[in-house]
Amino acid sequence: MHRKNYIRNLKKEIQELKEKRNAVILAHNYQRPEIQDIADVLGDSITLSLKAKEINKDIIVYCGVDVQADIAKILNPKKIVLLPDINAKCTMALMLYLKDLKKAKEKYPNSQVLLYTNSPIEMKGYVDRLTTSANIAEVAGRMKTDTIVWASDIHMADYVAEKSGKKVIPISEEVVCPVHNQLSLDDLMDAKERHLQAEVLAHPECLSEIRKKAKHIASTEGILNYCKKSNTNEFIIATENGLLYRLKKEIPNKKFYPASETAICQPMKAITLQRVRDSLKEMKYQVEIPKHILDKAREAIEKSGW
Ligand code: 13P
Ligand code: SF4
């Protein structure tokens, strides 16, 4: 069978299964183009989380990474949440250990712990506040302590400190998002030389030297919204390259260039049409979260104001 027919048939099968199962498909902005095309809702972590909260269908198929599907389950625990590939695990979250978080909490008893949503589920039962990249400045700013124990990416730790004016202590110096960490100043300067009129837009997970060159720093959805409103016509995008497909599709009159050709998140790309079809057909892989963690995580989200 030709690829075009194969893809068309898969999409048709997914549509039929979706109706039969009373399901909805949520997809992150880093997903493959063909997954973005079949999504009922596209967005960044917070947009999809808030959407998941109000879904009244029976099943949520989450096309993203494990840690994001967990949040959908936490916010709407009565629904079945399916992650189409059990191995779609955020690489950065796998670098975080609960023992380091517990150690930091003991060392700084007067601090509060702020956790990024891209973190292991067992940690979500131990934190004071939870944040996504979109609301990090507000959540950190509203925290009552001057010292924040930060359980995630070291580049974002700097960003939280810059934005909140607080002392931010990362639980480990060895935690980065490999996709944003490999995005170098060399890559960016090269892109800038080739596109002299373009504005640089960066995700908060980028290195501070990249953020300093950016006109605007925002979550993936924040970048999209900025490009829609801006009077500028060309942009260099410093984040995972899946976002470029959505930018080009929704803003066809403007030009978008990747800051790095190699900014690709493999776990995000593990979600394929075939796996979405199989997931709906076989009802796999269902997200399960122990109740005590789920309740504590939801409380942290509520306290964080989202
Ligand atoms: P967003 O908060 O923009 O969705 O980013 C999530 C993410 O995985 C960044 O690497
Ligand atoms: Fe995790 Fe980085 Fe991939 Fe985002 S881009 S899902 S933080 S590994």
For the Cβ of 132 lying below 6 angstroms from any atom of ligand 1, the answer is yes
Indicate whether 145 belongs to any domain.
Answer: yes
Task: Encode pLDDT of 46-74 as tens digits.
Answer: 999 999 999 999 999 999 999 999 999 99
Ligand number, closest to the Cα atom of 65:
2
Q: What is the CATH number of the domain that holds 226?
A: 3.40.50.10800
User: If you measure from the C-alpha of residue 223 to the centroid of ligand 1, how many angstroms do you get, rounded to a whole number?
Assistant: 11
Per-residue pLDDT tens over the stretch 105-116 = 999 999 999 999
Percent of the chain at pLDDT > 90 equals 98
Q: Which atom of ligand 1 is nearest to the CA of 265?
A: 10
Domain match, 71 and 120 both: no
* CA of 16 relative to ligand 1 center, distance in Å: 30
Domain match, 75 and 101 both: no
Same-domain check for residues 105 and 167: yes
Q: Is residue 127 in a domain?
A: yes
User: Across all residues in the chain, what is the average pLDDT?
Assistant: 97
Ligand nearest to the CA of 91: 2
Residue 236's pLDDT band (cuts 50, 70, 90): very high
Domain limits for position 141: 93-176
Answering whether pTM is above 0.85, one says yes
How far, in Å, CA of 12 to CA of 152, rounded? Answer: 40
Percent of the chain residues past pLDDT 70, beyond the cut: 100
For position 138, what pLDDT does the model report? 95
Q: Which residues have CB under 8 Å from 302's CB, separation 6+?
A: none
State in Å: Cα 22 to ligand 2 middle: 29
CA of 256 to the centre of ligand 1 (A): 19
The phi, psi pair for 272, rounded to 5°, reads: -120, 165
Residues 9 and 84 in one domain: yes
Asked whether 220 lines ligand 1 (CB < 6 A), one says yes
Q: Is 228 exposed, middle or buried (0-12, 13-18, 19+ CB in 10 A)?
A: exposed
Residue at 99 is within a domain: yes
Ligand 1 center–CA 32 separation, angstroms: 15
Is there a domain that residue 297 lies in? no
pLDDT band of 3, cuts 50, 70, 90: confident
Structure tokens at 43: 């967005």
Cβ-contact 206, 180 below 8 angstroms:
yes
- Split at pLDDT 50, 70, 90, the class of 1 is low
Domain co-membership, 45 together with 98: no
From 176, 205, 234, give the residue that closes a domain: 176
Task: State the pLDDT at residue 304.
Answer: 97
Ligand 1, atom 8, residue with closest C-alpha: 118
Strand partners, 81: 60
Q: Is 147 helix (H, G, I), strand (E, B) or coil?
A: strand
pLDDT at 16: 98
- The pLDDT tens digits for 281-305 are 999 999 999 999 999 999 999 999 9
* Helix (H/G/I), strand (E/B), else coil: 6: helix
Ligand 1, atom 9: closest residue by C-alpha: 205
302 in a domain, yes or no? no
Nearest ligand to the C-alpha of residue 134? 1
Based on the fold, state whether residues 115 and 68 are members of the same structural domain: no
Dist. CA 2 → ligand 1 center (Å): 34
Residue 294 lies in a domain: no
**What mean pLDDT do residues 117-130 have?**
95
Same domain flag for 63 and 106: no
**296 domain-assigned:** no
Is 159 part of a structural domain of the chain? yes
Domain boundary among 116, 145, 176: 176
Smallest-distance ligand from the CA of 48: 1
| Mean pLDDT across 72-77 | 98
- Tally the domains of the chain: 3
Does 241 sit in the ligand 1 pocket, CB within 6 Å? no
